[in-house]
Chains A and B, each alone.
Chain A
Amino acid sequence: MVALTVEAPAAYVAAGQRIDIEKVSHQFELEGEPLPVLDEVGFSVEPGSFVALLGPSGCGKSTLLRLLAGLDHPTEGALKVDGTVVGDPDPSRILVFQDPTLFPWRTVWDNVALGLEAQGILKSSRHRVDKAIELVGLGGFDKAYPHQLSGGMAQRVALARALVNEPRLLLLDEPLGKLDSLTRLTMQTELVKLWQEAGLTAVLVTHDVEEALFLTQRVLIFGPRPARIVADITVDLPYPRHRGDPRLAELRREALGHLGLAATW
């Protein structure tokens, strides 16, 4: 693994969690037949870095993220976060879904506040809720209900709801997948900024090659199901990046090659 030339701001690096995935295999049952989705996947992620898991739809990368969040447990192998095996879901590592999954009966503010409320620390940390809402650029929308928000705004609330817990690992499951392309570009830039400011470890699952290369420092490419890693690309470009950067185009060609799509380039 080549040392990264770009790093998150030094002051925050310690805040991110380290991930070690050791020979993880996972299978589902489909009509009584075992359906393997992950096949001895293993890799590590440095604390404070931003990594993308890229692969075709249904290859099992989202499953891996769910395992990391603790929503499911692997059939074989171990996932460790900061050296400890992942147990039940914990607000220190939060999964942001493709859909905002906001609680429709709660206002923006109350949605963001729920994590702190559940921990019983809301009274003393109301300012954290305000700050998180401010951070995603939704100040003034505190009292809006989810149905009053656009798709991009709702996804920002979902991000704020995750960030308010001051997670040390942010798991992003195609969080921009359902947004329109313009909102998507804006949100990509904002995601990088949020990651830099919060100084956490971030893992992004996507099937968008440009998005993976533009946002992250390292792109792990998965083959078709059952997923195994077919390539590990380091994106050696400083932030802020430019979409027209020739180096990005080169990396894109390489990534598409690994995905078996070289002919389209």
Chain B
Amino acid sequence: MSSIETVASIPLPLRGRGKTASAAPCSGGPALQRITPVSSAGHGIPRWARRLSGPLLLVAAWHLASITGVLPGEVLAGPSTVLSSAAKLIATGELQEAMLVSLRRALTGLAIGGSIGITLAIVAGLFRLGEDLVDAPMQMMRTVPNVALIPLLIIWFGIGEAPKIALIALGTAFPLYLNVYAGIRNVDSTLVEAGRTLGLSRAAMIRHVVLPGALPSALVGLRYSLGIAWLALVFGEQINATAGIGYLMANAREFFQTDVIVVCLVVYAFLGLAVDFTVRTLERIFLAWRPAFSGA
């Protein structure tokens, strides 16, 4: 407490110790002035450049290790080889095709798993009977690692597309279920009462109060689900894939093409990044009303 009082007693122009102290002394009254922290005041090199230097150094070290032979190509191909094989894969169209196949798998799985998760969450969230019937089995099943289900999925669905999509669907259903359900149950009860005094019907209450109130939670669930969709995709594509990034990787493994494997890993990373960006954009659009959301 005493530190606050001390600050308050210092004359205004002295408060910002950095550049702002000398700039524009306040002309009477407690007018607001922007105080820039000393750390971000800048030391010549822009912050983004400094942040970028770490990864660049890493790549440089990698390159150095591979051209000097410290890191043999069979263990890990050098960055230049990786780049050229990426260019080759893009030129032949193999990479784009594989990406499309993988992306479609992930999204199909997410669509199926997500709709199941959201539907069950709404049933369990809105109706007490639904909660009694749905919640306990869901809570039980969510603790089973879904990768452990792969043998069972292969027996059920064979080794085609179905088990891969089923694995992704299984993985994505739970985070969405848990978060949408929690979101519905955590809707502010005073808002529900306000809705009642306005004469909202049950359907209108769900549409205008309960579902919008659950949306922030639902988007958190979507983010988790997308993360898991990616993980499940990588596992799923190890099951006898005939197309997709996983197939590309499995092939490369057969021929010790570490460069292609690295390209595939980078592609997985970028697809994940793209999906995260999509969710952030959705949040910016749908949660603009939230004071806590300060922009992506």
**CB atoms of B209 and A103 under 8 A apart:** yes
Given contacts A69-B197, A118-B199, could you give 20 more A-B pairs where the C-beta distance is less than 8 Å?
Answer: A71-B196, A89-B197, A91-B197, A91-B198, A94-B197, A94-B198, A95-B197, A97-B190, A99-B190, A101-B188, A103-B191, A103-B212, A105-B289, A106-B212, A114-B208, A118-B200, A118-B204, A118-B208, A145-B288, A147-B289
- Distance to closest chain A CB from B155 (angstroms): 46
The CA-CA distance from A97 to B289 in the complex, in Å, is 22
Residues 78-105 of chain A: 1 if any B CB is under 8 Å from the residue's CB, otherwise 0? 0000000000011100110101011111
Name the A residues within 8 Å of B209 (CB-CB): 103
Q: Is A124 an interface residue (CB 8 A)?
A: no
Please judge, given known A-B contacts A99-B190, A105-B215, whether A147 and B198 are in contact too, CB under 8 Å: no
Q: Is the CB of B289 within 8 A of A89?
A: no
Chain A residue at minimal CB-CB distance from B208: A114
Q: Output the residue of B190, B199, B212 with the most chain A CB within 10 A.
A: B199
Q: Is the CB of A119 within 8 A of B199?
A: yes
Q: Are A147 and B291 in touch, CB under 8 angstroms? A: yes
In the bound complex, residues from chain B placing their C-beta under 8 Å from that of A17 are none
Q: Does residue A36 face the partner (Cβ distance < 8 Å to B)?
A: no
A115 at the interface (CB under 8 A from B): yes
30 A-B pairs in the complex with CB atoms less than 8 angstroms apart: A69-B197, A71-B193, A89-B198, A89-B199, A91-B199, A95-B197, A97-B190, A97-B194, A101-B190, A101-B191, A101-B194, A102-B194, A103-B191, A104-B289, A105-B212, A105-B213, A105-B289, A106-B289, A107-B289, A114-B195, A114-B198, A115-B198, A118-B199, A118-B204, A147-B289, A147-B290, A147-B291, A161-B198, A165-B198, A165-B199
Which positions 193-222 of chain B face chain A at CB distance < 8 Å?
193-201, 204, 208-209, 212-213, 215
Indicate if the CB atoms of A71 and B197 lie closer than 8 Å. yes
| B194 cross-chain contacts in A, Cβ below 8 A | 97, 101-103
B212 close to A115 (CB less than 8 A): no
State in angstroms the CA–CA spacing of A104 and B213 once bound together.
9
Instruction: Report the Cα distance A91→B193, complex, angstroms.
Output: 13
Interface string of A140-177 (1 = CB under 8 A from B): 00000111100000000000010001000000000000
List the A side residues contacting B197 at CB < 8 Å: 69, 71, 89, 91, 94-95
The answer for the CA separation of A145 and B188 in the assembled complex, in Å, is 17
Contact partner of A89 (CB less than 8 A), chosen from B196, B212, B288, B291, is B196
Residues of chain B within 8 A of A115, CB atoms compared? 198-199
CA distance A71 to B289 in the complex (A): 28
Interface string of B252-296 (1 = CB under 8 A from A): 000000000000000000000000000000000000111100000
How many of B's residues come within 8 Å of A, CB to CB? 22
Contact check, B291 vs A103: say whether CB atoms are below 8 A apart. no
The complex places the Cα of A40 from the Cα of B208 at a distance, in Å, of 38
Closest to A103 in B: B191
> Measured between C-beta atoms, what is the minimum distance from B193 to chain A in Å?
6
A150 to chain B, nearest CB (A): 13
Chain A residues with CB under 8 Å of B215's CB are 105
| Residues on A with beta carbons closer than 8 Å to the beta carbon of B204 | 117-118
Cα distance A148–B291 in the bound complex, in angstroms = 8
User: Smallest CB-CB separation from B190: which chain A residue?
Assistant: A101
Residues of A within 8 A of B200 (CB): 114, 118
Complex Cα distance, B197 from A71, in Å, reads 7
Residues of chain A lying within 8 A (CB to CB) of residue B199: 89-91, 115, 118-119, 165
| Chain B: CB-nearest residue to A119 | B199
A91 to B194, CA, bound (A): 11
Distance in angstroms from A56 CB to nearest chain B CB is: 23
Q: In whole angstroms, what is the CA distance A8 to B193 when docked?
A: 30
A89 to B215, CA, bound (A): 27
Shortest A184–chain B CB gap in Å is 21
In the complex, A104 Cα to B191 Cα: how many Å? Answer: 10
Q: In residues 139-197 of chain B, which contact A (Cβ within 8 Å)? A: 188, 190-191, 193-197
Please determine whether B191 and A118 come into contact, CB atoms closer than 8 angstroms: no
A161 CA to B196 CA, complexed, in Å: 13
Alpha-carbon separation in the docked complex, A102 to B194 (Å):
8
Q: How far is the CA of A114 from the CA of B207 in the complex (A)?
A: 11
Query: Considering the chains assembled together, what is the distance between the CA atoms of A94 and B193 in angstroms?
Result: 11
Separation of A146 and B188 alpha carbons in the complex (Å):
15
Query: What CA separation (Å) do A225 and B190 show in the bound complex?
Result: 24
* Residues of chain B contacted by A161 (CB below 8 angstroms): 198
Most buried by A among B196, B201, B209: B196
Report Cα–Cα, A90/B196, bound state, in Å: 8
Residues of A within 8 A of B188 (CB): 101
Interface residues of A in 99-134 (CB under 8 A from B): 99, 101-107, 114-115, 117-119
> Which chain B residues border A102 with CB–CB below 8 Å?
194
CB distance from B59 to the nearest CB of A (A): 44
Provide the residues of chain A in CB contact with B290, threshold 8 Å: 104, 147
Of A69, A89, A147, A148, which is in contact with the most chain B CB atoms at under 10 Å from its CB?
Answer: A89
> Nearest-CB distance from A86 to chain B (Å)?
12
| Assembly CA distance A69 to B195 (angstroms) | 12
**A99-B188 Cα distance, complex, nearest whole Å:** 12
Distance in angstroms between the alpha carbons of A101 and B200 in the assembled complex: 15
Docked pose: A103 CA to B195 CA in angstroms:
9
